[in-house]
Amino acid sequence: MINMVMLVDDSGIDNFVNKTMIKQNLTDNIVIKDTVKDALNYLRMESDKIQNIPDLIFLDINLPALSGFDFLKEYENLSESIKNKSKIIVLSSSDKPEDIEQMMSNKYVKDYLIKPMSPEAIENIKHYFL
């Protein structure tokens, strides 16, 4: 069951579309962070309240200042309770094989989706939570 989703993306349009799709298919409880720093700060600040930790994190690669790759490096240092609860799915416009390979080689990344998010992709995501 998915109680909370976090979108880590700096595109307002993408966040609007993805939020709508998530609300229709997964949950109403969505946290949006437009920088890696804000996303990591949120996870650190809420680490003692496991109910506030997202079950699913949609992570973009191309973000201002720090990238999705940087997020994953810092994610390694977060508490085990966060890493055990959250599943990460990369949601990016990059279809470069090297980006996909690098992201999918990270043990915390469960899947890689090319934007835009689709209803079929959401259905496929649900199997991670059965």
- Give the global pTM: 0.96
Which positions ≥6 away from 88 have C-beta within 8 Å?
Answer: 56, 57, 59, 72, 75, 106, 108, 109, 110
User: Could you tell me if 53 and 81 are in contact, meaning their C-beta atoms sit under 8 angstroms apart?
Assistant: yes
pLDDT score of 130 more than 80 = no
Q: Which fold has domain 5-129?
A: Rossmann fold (3.40.50)
Domain boundaries defined on the chain: 5-129
Looking at the predicted structure, is the pLDDT value of residue 79 above 90? yes
pLDDT digits (tens, 9 = 90+) for 84-95: 999 999 999 999
- Residue 19, CA distances (Å) to 3, 26, 48, 75, 116 in order: 14, 10, 26, 23, 12
